[in-house]
A and B are shown apart, each in its own frame.
Chain A
Amino acid sequence: MSESNEENRLSSLVDGELDSDRLNETLLEVLDNAERREELKRLLLLRKAFAPWRSAEPSRAIAPPARRAAASGERHAARHWIGMAAAAALGGVLVLTGVWMGGRGGPVVGDSQPLAPGASDTVLADKQREIATVFALHQAVAGPLDWYADTEDGIRLSSAKSRAPTGRPVAVLLRLTSAEGNGRGVKDYMIVCREKTPTTIELPSNSNQGDMPPLQLTLWATPNEEEIDVQYALVADDSLPAILAGQRKVGLATTPLGQLALERRLVDVTANAWILAEGDAK
């Protein structure tokens, strides 16, 4: 082996890049050679000279952005809490009433007239995988999540109170569309919550866009065979609070939830829901 190759091997040794057998072999050679020992010492010193670089840490903890977003969202929610409290409480009551009435087979209080069944869009496998991936990413960054809501206006999420949140994640695609049928005002929300866990989410919104007031969604998703029993209350923090609440069996096919009056116009609300396959994220 040439001298240069031997030095190259010493350099790799110093950087911890040799497997154990080559390491032993190289060390044995070095121990018997004073010149090699000196070369090894100089390489070790050079390695040591840059050790502080390799162990440099930020002076303050760098919070992953998702956590910052969550914290921001929680602060935002706190600011709006007083204003939303009455509507939220009413929404919660309606949800609970809906659950109770639904269980008795009676009409769902607060629910609007069901929409005529239209084209049943189905969530395709690719979309399911995409959402599973996005949710997995956010959990990778922020740790286990109780819920997650994503729209073009932003992201809200809530870290789980325990390291292992109970209940499987349920994905809910919520779509708000102008009932005028002109395709205006379409708004999609991708939401993930935990099964059998009542969840209240202040949906991300863009205050610069005046077409949609802040919305608060309360969800209670319970898997039932191929579908999800979804109890919901959608509350708009408008000049006149608007509420849509009810209970539906929702699956991969688009299911109408009802209509909501926002900004003096009617908005159709539809949903798709399914159990999120966490293991298929990647």
Chain B
Amino acid sequence: MVNDCSETRIEDHLPRMYRVALRIVGNPDEAEDVVQDACVKSLRGWDGFHGQCALITWLHRITVNCARDHLRRRRRGDKEMTLDDPSTIAIDERVAAPGSSVDSGALCDRVREMVNRLPDDCRAAFIMTQLDGYRYDAAASLLKLPRGTVASRVFRAKRLLLEQLGDQIDEVVQ
């Protein structure tokens, strides 16, 4: 199994940071800006980082915080967002599934809505492992949960989605 913690170069984590940012801010250009911002903040805050095994966790939090700041600037005038704002564990409504065709747009919208409607606990585990691409161990570290709990929540989210999709699951992957 790939050990996420063995990667020590920030550069190695850029694609995942981008995916996290894209999911939250919903726009590729803005996501790239968020990642740049996160890299700058990670460099400036390097002294606060202790232990290579926490690098993936540390970078994720910085990326999420930068994306949240970005959303806050975009929604200027809205109420202050909190660290656990639901928008950071959801798919932005403006983003289409990467690689999806125009014809599948409506179905993708529906899948996105279904993911966003998942219960909070299993939504976070599902999004981190199925969309952001984190291994269970890394997601467990990020969520401060036992690995088994993450596995159970991911499974519960999958079961809920499959129940709602029914036979449409074949169309989703076409």
> Which A residues form the contact surface with B (CB < 8 A)?
7-8, 11-12, 15-17, 19, 42-43, 45-50, 52-60, 62-66, 68, 130, 133-134, 137-138, 140-141, 282
Task: List, in ascending order, chain B residues with CB within 8 A of A63's CB.
Answer: 36
Which residues of chain A are near B131, meaning CB under 8 Å?
50, 53-54
B102 close to A (CB within 8 Å): no
- A141 and chain B: residue at smallest CB distance: B10
- B interface, by DSSP: helix, strand, loop or mixed? helix
- Chain A nearest CB, measured from B69 CB (Å): 16
How far is B39's CA from A138's CA once the two chains are assembled, in angstroms?
A: 11
Asked whether, in the complex, the Cβ of B15 is within 8 Å of the Cβ of A57, the reply is: yes
Q: Give the residue name and chain of the B residue nearest to A11 (CB).
A: B155
Given contacts A58-B18, A130-B47, contact A140 B8 (CB under 8 A): yes
Q: Which of A15, A48, A62 has the most CB of B within 10 A?
A: A62
Chain B residues within 8 Å of A11, by CB: 151, 154-155, 158
B133 touches A42 (CB 8 A): no
Interface centre among A15, A58, A130 (most CB of B within 10 A): A58
B52 to A53, Cβ gap below 8 A?
A: no
Which of chain A's residues have a CB closer than 8 A to the CB of B155? 7-8, 11-12
Q: Which of B116-174 contact A (CB under 8 A)?
A: 129-133, 135-136, 151-152, 154-155, 158-159, 161-162, 165, 169-170, 172-173
- Report B-chain residues with C-beta under 8 Å of the C-beta of A7: 155, 159
Among B8, B19, B111, B170, which residue has its beta carbon within 8 angstroms of that of A56? B19
Contacts of A17 in B (CB 8 A): 1, 135-136, 151
Q: List 16 A-B contacts (CB under 8 A).
A: A12-B136, A17-B135, A42-B162, A45-B169, A46-B172, A48-B173, A49-B172, A53-B98, A54-B19, A56-B98, A58-B28, A58-B31, A59-B28, A62-B32, A65-B40, A140-B10
> A42 vs B151: C-alpha distance in the bound complex, in angstroms?
17
State whether the Cβ of B82 lies closer than 8 Å to any Cβ in chain A: no
Known contacts A7-B155, A11-B151, A49-B173; A66/B43 CB under 8 A: yes
A-side contacts of B162, CB under 8 Å: 42-43, 46
B136 to chain A, nearest CB (A): 5
Residues of chain B with a CB closer than 8 A to A46's CB: 158, 161-162, 165, 169, 172
* Inter-chain contact A12/B161, CB cutoff 8 Å: no
Contact A8 B151, CB 8 Å, known A141-B10, A141-B11: yes
* A65–B18 CA distance with the chains assembled, in angstroms: 14
Rounded to whole angstroms, the CA-CA distance of A64 and B132 in the bound complex is 20
Q: Which residue of B lies closest to A20 (CB)?
A: B1
Give the complex CA separation of A77 and B43 in angstroms: 23
Q: List residues of B (37-81) whose CB comes within 8 Å of A's CBs.
A: 39-40, 43, 46-47, 52
Residue on B with the closest CB to A60?
B32
Q: What is the CA–CA distance of A58 and B98 in the complex, to the nearest angstrom?
A: 11
Please tell me if the beta carbons of A15 and B10 are within 8 angstroms of each other in the complex.
no
Distance in angstroms from B52 CB to nearest chain A CB is: 6
The answer for the CA separation of A55 and B1 in the assembled complex, in Å, is: 18
Can you name 16 extra interface pairs (CB under 8 A) apart from A52-B98, A133-B46? A11-B154, A12-B136, A45-B170, A48-B173, A49-B111, A49-B172, A52-B99, A54-B131, A56-B15, A56-B18, A56-B19, A58-B31, A63-B36, A65-B40, A65-B43, A140-B10
- Distance in angstroms from B168 CB to nearest chain A CB is 10
**Which residues in B have their C-beta under 8 angstroms from that of A43?**
158, 162
Please give, as numbers and ranges, the residues of chain A lying within 8 Å of B8 by CB-CB distance.
140
Across the two chains, which residue of chain B brings its CB closest to A39? B162
Q: Could you tell me if B31 and A45 are in contact, using CB atoms closer than 8 angstroms? A: no
Residues of A within 8 A of B135 (CB): 17
Contact (Cβ within 8 A) B39 A64? yes
Instruction: Name the contact of B173 in the complex, choosing from A45, A55, A59, A140 (C-beta under 8 A).
Output: A45
Separation of A118 and B161 alpha carbons in the complex (Å): 73
Contact yes or no, A138 B43, CB < 8 A: yes
